[in-house]
């Protein structure tokens, strides 16, 4: 009979971790890419080439990696990624990770659906692991997201990639009644995923809550968080954070504003815009159409569109909560033959998450404000994005249509423009968006 395998004791585990950390630090320092380079321009590493230590004081390169197992990251992170099905890296991950793992600040711009979340989750886990971060060390990283739904998705990715680490993590988002329970536990958490308002609430109200040892700050959908609407809140948050830290800003569109970068204390950030040189600013598998629709014909046109696509999953954007509620109620009474749902910012958090989950599961029409345009990943492909109202600007258009054609799947979008809004079509074309114009039909 075989003897049962004995689990390594804690002392052995600690020694193994210390050895691994020393190896990782040596590997990272010896092979770090030059500042200002884009690892996407490096030749891809040979899949069969040895990884890690390849001589007494020699290590394999990691700029040019195409797979996660070629990176200088811990066994715990590699196991989490593998179990979650993450094997090959996307462009933004290939570009950002070699720089972020060696401690640099990142300004990352990439199309929606391109895998930005893992590009900052991995270096957070690795930074805290190499620093041997523990429960008594408090908050080591803060990830700020503009919406509750996006924060919830980020938290799921963090849990998947970090499942074999021992860090404590918490989701701090508004609209939940258990703020008092959060206050009791928040000082014990190592990684916080939060919305700006909820984070500031804890900074202002929670006894002994402080982030003086913060290692990594992340702003996801950074252009939205740096916008005027969050300006006061963000300034109040940043004023309470240490200036010496690593900072990542990720978004589909990105700021180069000196003022924004200065108030966030970024240190010579690496600007990585992986799709800046691409022919289009939107996903390659996305078919985009714009059409002239006078105001008094918009609802008729939308009704005809829905009736013609009853077997599709359709996301319809409108500009205000009132419009969403009106169109949803009106169409519901008319019974188009497909389930209808609505989503807007005035709904309670639990209801919003429930509707989002239902829409992910089966074909239906979801009427929504821009609350659904940012970062949300509808698990099963959205077939159509319909913009009943013209978006505020090109960036808003990109975020809206980014809910379909995610990763390598296909998708289609249609934009209804009134005759007075033709300037938007010019702006989209100037921004490398290949949109077809039609006067009648779709």
Write down the pLDDT at residue 378. 58
Q: Which residue range forms the structural domain that includes residue 408?
A: 286-438
60 has a pLDDT exceeding 50: yes
Q: Which residue has the tokens 């900074």?
A: 203
Is 432 inside any structural domain? yes
Write down the pLDDT at residue 226. 81
Residue range 314-358, pLDDT digits in tens: 999 998 999 999 999 999 999 999 999 998 877 877 787 788 878
Compare 137 and 372 and report the one with higher pLDDT.
137
Same domain, 227 and 296: no
C-alpha span between 121 and 92 (Å, rounded): 13
Same domain, 294 and 204: no
Is 341 inside any structural domain? yes
pLDDT-based confidence at residue 304 (cuts at 50, 70, 90) = very high
Residue range 342-351, pLDDT digits in tens: 988 778 777 8
Same domain, 54 and 143: yes
Is 35 inside any structural domain? yes
**What angle in degrees, to the nearest 10, is found between the helix axes of 116-130 and 148-161?**
50
Out of 130-139, 247-256, 333-342, 374-383, pick the least confident. Answer: 374-383
Total tally of structural domains belonging to the chain: 2
Same domain, 184 and 263: yes
Nearest to 340 by CA among 322, 357, 355: 355
* Residue that terminates a domain, selected from 249, 273, 297: 273
Is 281 inside any structural domain? no
Cα distances (angstroms) measured from residue 217 to each of 51, 253, 352: 30, 19, 27
Cα distances (angstroms) measured from residue 193 to each of 117, 142, 240, 247, 424: 12, 6, 17, 15, 35
Write down the pLDDT at residue 370. 82
Is 5 inside any structural domain? no
Same domain, 327 and 222: no
Nearest to 163 by CA among 225, 121, 104: 121
- Say if residues 421 and 272 touch (Cβ distance below 8 Å): no
* Residue that terminates a domain, selected from 241, 273, 305: 273
Same domain, 268 and 297: no
Nearest to 192 by CA among 182, 177, 184: 182
- Say if residues 336 and 316 touch (Cβ distance below 8 Å): no
Out of 67-71, 85-89, 306-310, 345-349, pick the least confident. Answer: 345-349
* Residue that terminates a domain, selected from 273, 308, 323: 273
Write down the pLDDT at residue 219. 93
C-alpha span between 319 and 119 (Å, rounded): 31
Is 16 inside any structural domain? yes
Cα distances (angstroms) measured from residue 265 to each of 201, 240, 254, 372: 22, 12, 17, 30
% of the chain exceeding 70 in pLDDT: 86
H or E stretch including 215?
none
* 3-class SS of residue 202: helix
Write down the pLDDT at residue 442. 42
**What angle in degrees, to the nearest 10, is found between the helix axes of 10-31 and 116-130?**
120
Same domain, 123 and 203: yes
Same domain, 315 and 244: no
Compare 442 and 289 and report the one with higher pLDDT.
289
| Structure-token pair, residue 391 | 């978006």
Q: What mean pLDDT comes out for the span 221-229?
A: 80
| Structure-token pair, residue 415 | 């934009």
Compare 46 and 420 and report the one with higher pLDDT.
420
Strand order in the sheet with 216-220: 169-172, 191-194, 141-144, 216-220, 246-251, 106-109, 270-273
Is 393 inside any structural domain? yes
441 has a pLDDT exceeding 50: no
Out of 341-350, 367-376, 430-439, pick the least confident. Answer: 367-376
Same domain, 42 and 183: yes
Q: What are phi and psi of 240, to 5 degrees?
A: -100, 5
Q: Give me the CATH number covering residue 320.
A: 3.40.50.300
- Give the distance, in angstroms, between the CA of residue 406 and the centroid of all CA atoms in the same chain: 12
Write down the pLDDT at residue 299. 95
Q: What mean pLDDT comes out for the span 71-92?
A: 95
Same domain, 265 and 297: no
Write down the pLDDT at residue 379. 47
Average pLDDT, the chain: 86
Write down the pLDDT at residue 423. 92
Residue range 405-417, pLDDT digits in tens: 655 566 889 999 9
Cα distances (angstroms) measured from residue 85 to each of 72, 161, 201, 379: 19, 10, 36, 15
116 has a pLDDT exceeding 50: yes
Same domain, 267 and 376: no
Q: Is 265 left (phi over 0), alpha (psi -120 to 50) or beta?
A: left
C-alpha span between 68 and 86 (Å, rounded): 8
Which distant-in-sequence residues (6+ apart) come within 8 Å of 168 by Cβ? 135, 188, 189, 190, 191
Out of 49-63, 183-197, 246-260, pick the least confident. Answer: 246-260
Q: How far apart are the first and last CA of the chain?
A: 71
Q: What are phi and psi of 374, to 5 degrees?
A: -105, 105
% of the chain exceeding 90 in pLDDT: 51
Write down the pLDDT at residue 332. 94
Same domain, 328 and 265: no
Residue range 138-177, pLDDT digits in tens: 999 999 998 888 898 899 999 999 999 999 999 998 765 5
Write down the pLDDT at residue 279. 45
Give me the DSSP letters along 349-411. Answer: HHHHHHHHHHHHHS--EEEE-GGGSSS---SSPP-EEEESS--SSHHHHHHHHTTSS-TT--E
Is 6 inside any structural domain? no
């Amino acid at each position: 009979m075989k003897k049962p395998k004995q689990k390594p004791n804690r002392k052995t585990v600690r020694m193994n971790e210390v050895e691994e950390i020393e190896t990782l630090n040596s590997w990272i320092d010896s092979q770090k890419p030059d500042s200002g380079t884009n690892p996407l321009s490096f030749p891809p590493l040979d899949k069969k080439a040895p990884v890690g230590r390849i001589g007494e004081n020699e290590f394999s390169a990691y700029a040019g990696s195409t797979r996660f197992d070629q990176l200088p990251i811990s066994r715990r992170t590699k196991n989490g990624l593998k179990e979650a099905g993450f094997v090959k890296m996307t462009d933004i991950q290939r570009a950002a990770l070699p720089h972020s793992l060696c401690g640099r600040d990142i300004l990352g711009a990439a199309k929606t659906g391109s895998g930005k979340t893992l590009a900052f989750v991995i270096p957070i886990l690795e930074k805290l692991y190499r620093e041997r971060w523990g429960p008594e060390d408090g908050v080591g990283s803060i990830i700020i997201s503009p919406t509750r739904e996006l924060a919830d998705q980020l938290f799921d990715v963090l849990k998947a990639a970090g499942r074999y680490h021992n860090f404590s993590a918490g989701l701090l988002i508004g609209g939940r009644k258990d703020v008092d329970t959060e206050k009791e536990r928040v000082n014990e958490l190592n990684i916080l995923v939060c919305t700006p308002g909820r984070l500031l609430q804890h900074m202002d109200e929670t006894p002994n809550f402080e982030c003086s040892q913060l290692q990594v700050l992340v702003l996801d959908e950074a252009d939205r968080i740096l916008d005027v609407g969050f300006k006061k809140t963000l300034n109040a948050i940043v004023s309470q954070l240490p200036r010496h830290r690593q900072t990542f800003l990720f978004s589909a569109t990105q700021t180069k504003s000196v003022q924004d970068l200065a108030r966030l204390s970024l240190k010579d950030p690496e600007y990585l815009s992986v799709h800046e040189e691409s022919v289009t600013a939107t996903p390659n598998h996305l078919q985009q159409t714009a059409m002239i629709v006078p105001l008094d014909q918009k609802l008729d046109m939308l009704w005809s569109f829905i009736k013609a696509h009853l077997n599709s999953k359709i996301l319809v954007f409108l500009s205000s909560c009132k419009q969403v509620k009106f169109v949803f109620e009106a169409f519901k009474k008319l019974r188009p033959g497909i389930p209808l749902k609505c989503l807007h910012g005035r709904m309670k958090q639990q209801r919003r998450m429930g509707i989002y989950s239902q829409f992910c599961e089966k074909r239906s029409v979801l009427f929504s404000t821009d609350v659904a345009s940012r970062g949300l990943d509808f698990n099963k492909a959205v077939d159509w994005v319909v913009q009943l109202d013209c978006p505020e600007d090109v960036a808003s258009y990109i975020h809206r249509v980014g809910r379909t054609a995610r990763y390598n799947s296909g998708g289609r979008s249609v934009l209804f423009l009134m005759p007075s809004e033709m300037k938007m079509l010019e702006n989209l074309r100037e921004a490398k968006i290949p949109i077809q114009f039609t006067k009648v039909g779709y």
